[in-house]
Structures are given as structure tokens and as C-alpha cells.
Structure 1
């Protein structure tokens, strides 16, 4: 089961567990779609970011999403090209 983290690691935006705007990498680093587009790849592991699968409501009731927020404000700094 995915951890389903509650927020973007870059901007700390809330991400609903049923949102189609949440992106993750192989290690479940979690990003909002806007930040994922700016970053291009996961700054933590270098991996590809893909849309986080959306669980069914029944699965969420059985396996609640994480409440642990991961936030790294240093990632808000402009990226160098």
C-alpha cells in the first residue's frame, strides 16, 4: 500500500488522497503537479515523477493515508539551468 503523503514536499500544498494532481517518484517522494513540472525529476532521488494512483474510498477506509508531512523549503529556491 502506498503511504499517500498529505502534502507537496516543495511548496507544502495540501494534497487530497483522491487528488489527480499528486505526483510521486519510485520512493514515494510526493509533489503537487505544479512543482513536479518545475522540478522535472525528483530532486531527492533523480527519479521520474508520475501521477500518484488514486485509491478507492473503501481502500482508504481500510488503509488510511499518512498524516506525516515532508516539507523542504530549500527546494523553493530557483533551479539553475
Structure 2
């Protein structure tokens, strides 16, 4: 099950579970769409993989399986 991390690892922008701007790679590295497009040019800086839109977990499933509250931030340009 996806963690649904709460923020962009690059700019630390909030990415709530229903965000349409969240992007993930195969290892669930999580970035906002602007950082994926403008900063990383579609390539994950952590693993070298590509990004896809993060799925939206249905509200009833989110109640049973809440999103992560652990923030990950790269602290690099």
C-alpha cells in the first residue's frame, strides 16, 4: 500500500492525500508536479526512475488506511 507522503521532497509543499499535483516514482519518492517538470525534468533525483501521478485513495479507504504524516525533505537545490 502506498504511504501517501504529505509533502514534496524538493520544495516541501504540502501534498494532501487528494492532491492532483503529487507525483511518485517506483520507490514512492514524492514530489509536486512543478518540481518534477521544472527542476528534475521527469527523472527522480533519488533513484533515476520516472514519475507518475500519485493515485487518489478513496475517502472510505483513507479512513481505514490513513496517509503518512512523516515529512521527507531533500534539503538540496
Instruction: Kindly tell me the number of residue pairs found equivalent between the two proteins.
Output: 75
Corresponding residue for residue 18 of structure 2: 18
Alignment match, 1:60: 62
- The partner residue of 2:49 within 44, 47, 50 is 47
Segments of 5+ residues of structure 1 without an aligned counterpart are: 77-81
With structure 1 as the length reference, what TM-score do the two structures score? 0.90
Structure 2 residues not aligned, in runs of 5+: none
TM (norm. structure 2) is: 0.94
Specify the structure having the higher radius of gyration (Cα). Answer: 1
